[in-house]
Amino acid sequence: PKKKISKTKSLRSDHVDDDDDDISVYGRVEASAFVSRDVRMERAARRAIAAKVLTEKLLAGYSTIEAEEETCSCKKCGNQFLLNEAGTKECVVCPVIKSDLTRVTKRMVLEDPQHQVKRSLEAELRSLRKRAIVKERIAKDYVEAEGAALRNKREAEQA
């Protein structure tokens, strides 16, 4: 059973009632905080696709089903079935989601300011790593050259 949220019991984040059925508002973390940004963007893309497809189909002559909730919603995507011109019940969203989800999600990611910052920081990190590798090679070459010079000097002194 789900726990009830208490808005009046306590403002302390660790408050839990004796009956353990109540958790304070400040003691819980929003469920969306646990969902990654990429998952939220994919969900938004799914909603955008569904809204567009449903609108297009309704304007094209499809109609909604007047029935119980369980029989008029698709079990895969959760969107409402529509009746086509032949009167057959069908999900118009699932086929489009299959074909368009990757493209729409990629476009949303490219337009997202946080992902743009992330990409620029990742590019900068790659650049810094390349420069570090070059500097490491230069330092290694320098150490080897110094070692060779010291060996030559010792050999000259011993001879």
- Confidence class for position 103, pLDDT limits 50, 70, 90: confident
Q: Distance from CA of residue 62 to its chain's centroid?
A: 33
Rounded to whole angstroms, the Cα distance separating 23 from 16 reads 5
What would the two tokens of residue 108 be?
């949303």
Strands 4-6 and 22-24: parallel
DSSP one-letter code for 81: P
Q: What does pTM read for this prediction?
A: 0.46
Q: Is 7 helix (H, G, I), strand (E, B) or coil?
A: coil
Convert the pLDDT of each residue in 15-49 to its tens digit: 444 444 434 444 444 454 555 777 777 888 888 88
Nearest to 79 by CA among 92, 68, 89, 67: 92
